[in-house]
Structure 1
Amino acid sequence: MVTEATAATDKIRCDACPVMCYIKPGAAGACDRYANHDGKLVRVDPHIILERTVEHGGRLVPFQAGGDWDGKIVHQPETFVTAIGAGTTYPDYKPAPFIVSSEVDGVDMVTVVTEGIFSYCGVKLKIDTDRYLGAETATVRAQGEAVGHVTTSEYGSQMLSLGGVHHLTGGSKKEGRVTCDTLMDLSNCRPVELTIDGGATVIVQAGQPPVVNGVREERMRVGCGSATIGMFAKQWHGKVDEVVVVDDHITGVLSEHQAGKLLDIPDTGIKMKGRRSTPGRYFQVADPGTGWGGTNISDPLSILGSFDPKVAKPGMSLLMVSTTGEHASYYVLDAALRPVEQEMPSSLRHSVERIQENCEPALCTVLFMAGAGGSLRAGVTDNPVRLTRSVKDALTRVTSGGAPVYVWPGGGITFMVDVTQMPAGAFGYVPTPALVAPIEFTLKLSDYAGLGGHMDYVRPLASLRQNGEFRPIPWPISGRQA
């Protein structure tokens, strides 16, 4: 790191990223991460380490081959050095800022930490809602700028893919800046408003319910319409003649469904709009939307045709309900076989409440995803491919801010991490633009030497304590650590 002030201006040139800011005394660089303090370049944010205690630690699991359990967490370090606040390796030939040795269960270990500068990064956003947010591949915008797109829906959730190098660097300067801000805010668990072309406006925040078109979502659907029929058929048996579970994807009809057949529920003569798939399962009963069951309807009878007079009889009862139980209506057929809405019997209200009870709370999940490139890996070893191979061979454990990550198969070190498992403020940025995120590699000291690691830069954990270069925080149990 360049720390000398220029004689003419007393400014310091920072080499923590490609922008290479000149920072005047008492000011911070463009990233707000480095500052000029009395002529020295300093990291503004403290270096974070995690300390595990009984009060704040993880699960206490008494696995021991023999003897009494001493209360310690099994095979877990008491102190873990994260990369948050550690600094970067830019311009990439330098060893990682901290290469720290410690002993865990009698084994000499080393943790190599660095804050990666990620142009190739993004977030995968899971939004628990049955409501229609937008068509697949529709553009997602923040502050009017394209920052991602809608991807395939999953069970009870809408999925967005945001960021990536094309939005960060391939568009206008404003698009890159807004994309970077959006990714950083989401990764730091801040709320962000997104608009989807041809679809909804949604406020998302990791670990919090989504707000769709100004309405806070409460619950995730219990299942598709067909699955809901299967789960609750017995509870409806003998209490109502017919049940329709309205769902944008698969609407279920009790009397036709296999669950109804096995319970000997007779045909009712009901006629459904949409495309019949298998018995009791209908596709495309309505267009997608934010109404009943993720469709665009507000009147559930609009998806019904006329009842078959050869089968249906006056007085037959019909329950129509959505997959979350948010919408439900009860009808009785009149003399002309038209459904007339009636007050719902208490026994059926109980079943609707049971559907609601079985719906999990609607939340937003943010997974930060990035590829650890060759330059970052060069800070770990002088032969970067060996680090990649050691990760794939499970000799090296990868974490991000101490949180476990999923490393994708195939080439490189492409990882995903749940941002709510990381300490607060773990993400920063550089105005190239790119995100700055922590990454740690932990392995046996002997394996590190075998990788061609930077052994001359290994320092004991105690040296950090002696120099006061860090701020300890409790190890998060789950969710965001304050």
Structure 2
Amino acid sequence: MVKQQVESAVNGKIRCDACPVMCYIADGRSGACDRYANVGGELIRVDPLTIIENTIGDGGKVVAFLPDERSEDWNGDLVHASTPFVTAVGAGTTYPDYKPAPFIVSQTHAGVDMVTVVTEGIFSYCGAKIKIDTDRFIGPETAKVLVDGEPVGHVTTGEYGSQMLSIGGVHHLTGGSKKEGRVTCDTILRLCNRESVDLVIDGGATLTLTAGCPPIINGVEESRMRVGCGSATIGMFAKQWKDMVDEVVVVDDHITGVLSEHQAGKLLDVAPTGIKIKGRRSTPGRYFQVAEPGTGWGGTNVSDPLAILGDFDPKVAYPGLRLLMVSTTGEQYGYYILDHQLRPVLQDILPAAIQETVEIVAENCEPAMTSVLFIGGAGGSLRAGVTTNPVRLTRSVKDALTYVSVGGAPAYVWPGGGITVMADVTRMPTNSFGYVPTPAIVAPIEFTMRLEDYRALGGHMDAVIPVERAVEQAERRIASTEDSVWPMDGKNFRWGA
């Protein structure tokens, strides 16, 4: 457990200054955030300081037997397991902002003196961006996302094969009622800590979401992400279909594809079939708005795909014409043959070869997942824990002299002013996030750079400690994974002039 400096005590209670709430904590009790406790008159950070141990070598590469200009003499350590990275998980905060970051750790890596500044930021300007792999309609864009009846975010623009949510933000955290702020903070916290969260879309679906797990929509677990839109699916599998059936329709809420009219079908000499599609024709073989959005075939509201068909042209169509209709995931499909009145008749038996093509469509669909990305803005107070001149840290990040990570996970830094970061929560240690009841989210953030660059940007040099001292205080050690980006790796930032 990490001990914190105690600034005041009243009647045996310690006043914690780790956030603006400033709790008085009795012996044996924890503060409102459950992150700090009074243990025998000492203020203790309850969550363990976490370090990541490099078990995969330099970015997963084989370690050279002969040293180059940046490597230390090889000592037989093939995996560099002795190279730790101190994360901000469990480190503590800089509040009330005049203090240096809790840990400013120095170590030598690849012959270069490095420093990592480690702090848990108190983020009021934060939230979660959620990607839900599904074509099913979950609600109209801009619709409110509700938890316990409180608005915590909204539906945003859909992406290829996915629906998107924006959760949190300062207006939900601080601009509404106390309950709205409290529920929003709890929702962000649970999503980012990879816990299951139930949400309701205003005018749409009910969702159960867990980072890294399939989404559950209206009580049904989604299994597949579509292989492509209807048009793309036609293009990908046209060669397989052209000799098996006379016509294929891939039903899709966005772009429904028709084989005989599509350019792929034209180039493969697929004959016209006289088919008529209800909807707005875009380009040959590509149709928009064939039905309303929904949870049926291809993200439409239809359960019977024939509902999107008009009458076949009797001048072109003929009895016995073979028609395959399939969704973008291959979950729904039907094989039809036109009767003497040119009406599609569903066949009870699907020929084995056609069944195989449907299975190939399904095979090419990736597993449906829920992705949760934490997004937060590192304000001036957080940056002041790194340097006496906060704008220099911003410039150093923009100049790629400083590498930003969140709980050891690589962070995408948005362009423009400030330091707005986004990171995949599944690449962080478990329970990386906390909260304070202001309300705000407490999230780990690390800044790694060369020691000389840290000195140049006005860093708190008196607070720098060797990594060995920080490691002594660490209570949790986790191994890096194969897809880890090692924060100390010089490829992540410029080594300077």
Q: Normalization by structure 1: what TM-score?
A: 0.95
1:11 is aligned to 13
1:63 to 1:255, Cα distance in 2 relative to 1, 3 A = farther
1:26 aligns with 2:28: yes
Instruction: Give the Å deviation of 1:197.
Output: 0.9
Instruction: Provide the rounded CA distance (Å) in 2 between the counterparts of 1:287 and 1:437.
Output: 41
1:175 is aligned to 180
1:456 is aligned to 462
Segments of 5+ residues of structure 2 without an aligned counterpart are: 69-73, 485-497
Instruction: Give the Å deviation of 1:59.
Output: 5.1
Instruction: Give the Å deviation of 1:350.
Output: 0.4
2:48 is aligned to 46
2:489 is aligned to none
Instruction: Provide the rounded CA distance (Å) in 2 between the counterparts of 1:465 and 1:138.
Output: 47
Q: Is the 8 Å Cα contact of residues 51 and 471 (structure 2) preserved in structure 1? A: no
1:230 is aligned to 235
Instruction: Provide the rounded CA distance (Å) in 1 between the counterparts of 2:315 and 2:222.
Output: 42
Instruction: Provide the rounded CA distance (Å) in 1 between the counterparts of 2:253 and 2:59.
Output: 41
Instruction: Give the Å deviation of 1:169.
Output: 0.3
Q: Is the 8 Å Cα contact of residues 244 and 320 (structure 1) preserved in structure 2? A: yes
Instruction: Provide the rounded CA distance (Å) in 2 between the counterparts of 1:177 and 1:288.
Output: 33
1:238-269 per-residue CA deviation (whole Å, 9 max, x = no partner) reads: 11010000000000000000000001111101
Q: Is the 8 Å Cα contact of residues 117 and 436 (structure 1) preserved in structure 2? A: yes
- Aligned identity (percent) is 69
Instruction: Provide the rounded CA distance (Å) in 1 between the counterparts of 2:106 and 2:226.
Output: 48
Instruction: Provide the rounded CA distance (Å) in 2 between the counterparts of 1:83 and 1:327.
Output: 47
Instruction: Give the Å deviation of 1:60.
Output: 2.8
Instruction: For 1:322-341, list aligned pairs within 5 A.
Output: 322-341=327-346
1:3-39 per-residue CA deviation (whole Å, 9 max, x = no partner) reads: 26645x2111110000011111111000000011111
Instruction: Give the Å deviation of 1:469.
Output: 4.5
1:212 is aligned to 217
Instruction: Give the Å deviation of 1:464.
Output: 2.6
Among 231, 236, 244, the residue aligned to 1:239: 244
Instruction: Provide the rounded CA distance (Å) in 2 between the counterparts of 1:64 and 1:392.
Output: 32
The one-letter code matched in structure 2 to 1:137 is T
1:267 to 1:441, Cα distance in 2 relative to 1, 3 A = same
1:83 is aligned to 88
1:249 is aligned to 254
Instruction: Give the Å deviation of 1:50.
Output: 1.0
The one-letter code matched in structure 1 to 2:313 is D
Instruction: Provide the rounded CA distance (Å) in 1 between the counterparts of 2:360 and 2:92.
Output: 52
1:344 aligns with 2:350: yes
1:299 aligns with 2:308: no
Secondary structure of 1:441 counterpart: strand
Instruction: Provide the rounded CA distance (Å) in 1 between the counterparts of 2:187 and 2:63.
Output: 43
Instruction: Give the Å deviation of 1:237.
Output: 1.0
1:412 to 1:33, Cα distance in 2 relative to 1, 3 A = same
The one-letter code matched in structure 1 to 2:470 is L
Instruction: Give the Å deviation of 1:53.
Output: 2.5
Among 354, 359, 362, the residue aligned to 1:356: 362
Q: Is the 8 Å Cα contact of residues 53 and 84 (structure 2) preserved in structure 1? A: yes
1:62 aligns with 2:67: no
Instruction: Give the Å deviation of 1:475.
Output: 2.2
Instruction: Provide the rounded CA distance (Å) in 1 between the counterparts of 2:299 and 2:103.
Output: 50
Q: Is the 8 Å Cα contact of residues 211 and 217 (structure 1) preserved in structure 2? A: yes
Among 316, 340, 350, the residue aligned to 1:311: 316
1:35 to 1:63, Cα distance in 2 relative to 1, 3 A = closer
1:35 aligns with 2:41: no
Instruction: Give the Å deviation of 1:177.
Output: 0.5
Secondary structure of 2:120 counterpart: strand
Secondary structure of 2:249 counterpart: strand
1:449 to 1:16, Cα distance in 2 relative to 1, 3 A = same
Q: Is the 8 Å Cα contact of residues 233 and 259 (structure 1) preserved in structure 2? A: yes
Instruction: Give the Å deviation of 1:382.
Output: 0.4
Instruction: Provide the rounded CA distance (Å) in 2 between the counterparts of 1:59 and 1:384.
Output: 31
Q: Is the 8 Å Cα contact of residues 372 and 414 (structure 1) preserved in structure 2? A: yes
Instruction: Give the Å deviation of 1:473.
Output: 2.1
What is the root-mean-square deviation in Å for CA atoms of aligned residues? 1.8
Instruction: Provide the rounded CA distance (Å) in 1 between the counterparts of 2:407 and 2:419.
Output: 16
1:270 is aligned to 275
1:387 is aligned to 393
Q: Is the 8 Å Cα contact of residues 62 and 71 (structure 1) preserved in structure 2? A: no
Secondary structure of 2:159 counterpart: coil
2:418 is aligned to 412
1:424 is aligned to 430
Q: Is the 8 Å Cα contact of residues 116 and 436 (structure 1) preserved in structure 2? A: yes
The one-letter code matched in structure 1 to 2:325 is M
Instruction: Give the Å deviation of 1:72.
Output: 3.8
The one-letter code matched in structure 2 to 1:121 is C
Secondary structure of 1:153 counterpart: strand
Secondary structure of 2:213 counterpart: coil
The one-letter code matched in structure 2 to 1:423 is P
1:284 aligns with 2:289: yes
2:495 is aligned to none
Segments of 5+ residues of structure 1 without an aligned counterpart are: none
2:493 is aligned to none
1:302 to 1:71, Cα distance in 2 relative to 1, 3 A = farther
Instruction: Give the Å deviation of 1:478.
Output: 4.6
Q: Is the 8 Å Cα contact of residues 61 and 73 (structure 1) preserved in structure 2? A: no
1:77 to 1:365, Cα distance in 2 relative to 1, 3 A = farther
1:164 aligns with 2:169: yes
1:443 aligns with 2:449: yes
1:398 aligns with 2:401: no
Instruction: Provide the rounded CA distance (Å) in 2 between the counterparts of 1:401 and 1:465.
Output: 16
Instruction: Provide the rounded CA distance (Å) in 2 between the counterparts of 1:478 and 1:133.
Output: 32
